[in-house]
């Protein structure tokens, strides 16, 4: 029987203003705490599915631990270790046991965990040697030809490693033969053709709704490439999954892994919040 487990990866500290776009601090400071540099805690949570179509599947890998110390400190990655690998170890697994890695998009805080930890004088290596990597086809095109505005969010050397692995599969449909019981849907407001996986009644929100605070439909991130589109997509996404009674999986919320959707007086919120899924 399929088992879903939420796994923590490395966390980040990011600028609160950037995380809430044009929302004023007077508003968003009611939802999150910040440090003396105005930075808030951002989780990078992954979803492990065991015995899913007979495979061990990892959705997302988080930021990982590949950045050199200066960049690690810029992005507020404070753990010395590759947290996702240790979370896998707690489940009795290593990265070699993963059969499929599904990536919502290739921003470094979602795909960086594919790489080995930073070591002085050594190039990072691509981990998960036995995994097929599933990436949205149109998003792949964006990742390989980014706009100057989002270029810094991608890792060209990682894209090259994925391509050279011979195990990269580009997804351009609502299903893929490797994971017949997973349905995919796509949104483009955050980044072109970001891929949301729907597995056993749980939908991976990725950066469309990074956490509870972004359940407010008009609130978007400064990183979103097309905020008006994102807001329209978010409303349709919440409406669709509310009606279907699906649960939401949050990758960036430090406190909530999964929640159900409530809808009252024209506003969406979360109920039945679960901190960790196991």
- Could you list the residues that contact Zn ion (CB under 5 A)? 107, 207
If the CB atoms of residues 45 and 107 are measured against Zn ion, the closer one turns out to be 107
Q: 252 in helix, strand or coil?
A: coil
Query: Shortest gap between Cβ of 153 and Zn ion (angstroms)?
Result: 6
Nearest of 30, 114, 15, 139 to residue 74 by alpha carbon = 15
If the CB atoms of residues 48 and 195 are measured against Zn ion, the closer one turns out to be 195
Query: Shortest gap between Cβ of 195 and Zn ion (angstroms)?
Result: 12
If the CB atoms of residues 208 and 215 are measured against Zn ion, the closer one turns out to be 208
Query: Shortest gap between Cβ of 191 and Zn ion (angstroms)?
Result: 6
Helices 156-165 and 137-144 cross at an angle (nearest 10°) of 130
If the CB atoms of residues 93 and 140 are measured against Zn ion, the closer one turns out to be 140
Query: Shortest gap between Cβ of 93 and Zn ion (angstroms)?
Result: 26
Query: Shortest gap between Cβ of 26 and Zn ion (angstroms)?
Result: 26
Query: For residues 62 and 106, is the Cβ–Cβ distance under 8 A?
Result: no
With b for 16 or more beta-carbon neighbours within 10 A and e for fewer, the 146-156 pattern comes to beeebeebbbe
**Chain-centroid distance, C-alpha 6:** 12
Query: For residues 198 and 182, is the Cβ–Cβ distance under 8 A?
Result: yes
Query: Shortest gap between Cβ of 20 and Zn ion (angstroms)?
Result: 15
If the CB atoms of residues 207 and 233 are measured against Zn ion, the closer one turns out to be 207
If the CB atoms of residues 124 and 189 are measured against Zn ion, the closer one turns out to be 189
State how far the Cα of 57 lies from the Cα of 45, in Å rounded to an integer.
14
Provide the CB-side half-sphere exposure for 249 (13 A, CA): 27
Nearest of 244, 217, 207 to residue 104 by alpha carbon = 207
Query: For residues 107 and 95, is the Cβ–Cβ distance under 8 A?
Result: no
Query: Shortest gap between Cβ of 221 and Zn ion (angstroms)?
Result: 8
Q: Give, rounded to a whole angstrom, the gap between the first and last alpha carbons of the chain.
A: 14
Which residue has its beta carbon closest to Zn ion?
Answer: 107
If the CB atoms of residues 60 and 207 are measured against Zn ion, the closer one turns out to be 207
Residue with tokens 């015995």: 51
């Amino acid at each position: 029987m399929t088992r879903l487990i939420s796994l923590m990866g490395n966390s980040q500290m990011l600028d609160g203003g950037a995380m809430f776009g044009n929302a004023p601090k007077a508003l968003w400071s009611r939802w999150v705490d910040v440090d003396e540099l105005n930075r808030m805690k951002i989780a990078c949570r992954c979803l492990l599915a065991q015995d899913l179509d007979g495979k061990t599947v990892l959705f997302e890998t988080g930021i990982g631990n590949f950045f050199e110390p200066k960049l690690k400190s810029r992005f507020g990655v404070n753990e010395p270790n590759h947290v996702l690998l240790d979370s896998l170890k707690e489940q009795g697994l290593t990265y070699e046991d993963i059969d499929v890695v599904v990536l919502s998009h290739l921003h470094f805080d979602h795909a960086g965990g594919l790489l080995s930890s930073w070591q002085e004088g050594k190039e990072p290596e691509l981990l998960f040697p036995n995994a097929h990597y599933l990436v949205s086809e149109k998003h792949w095109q964006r990742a390989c030809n980014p706009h100057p505005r989002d270029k810094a969010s991608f890792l060209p050397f990682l894209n090259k490693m994925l391509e050279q692995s011979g195990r990269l599969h580009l997804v351009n449909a609502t299903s893929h033969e490797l994971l017949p019981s997973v349905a995919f849907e796509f949104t483009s407001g955050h980044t072109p053709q970001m891929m949301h996986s729907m597995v056993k009644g749980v939908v991976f929100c990725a950066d469309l709704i990074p956490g509870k605070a972004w359940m407010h439909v008009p609130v978007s991130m400064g990183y979103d490439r097309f905020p008006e589109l994102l807001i329209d997509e978010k409303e349709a996404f919440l409406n669709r999954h509310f009606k279907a009674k699906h649960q939401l999986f949050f990758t960036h919320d430090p406190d909530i892994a999964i929640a159900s959707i409530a809808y009252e007086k024209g506003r969406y919120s979360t109920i039945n919040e679960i901190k960790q899924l196991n």
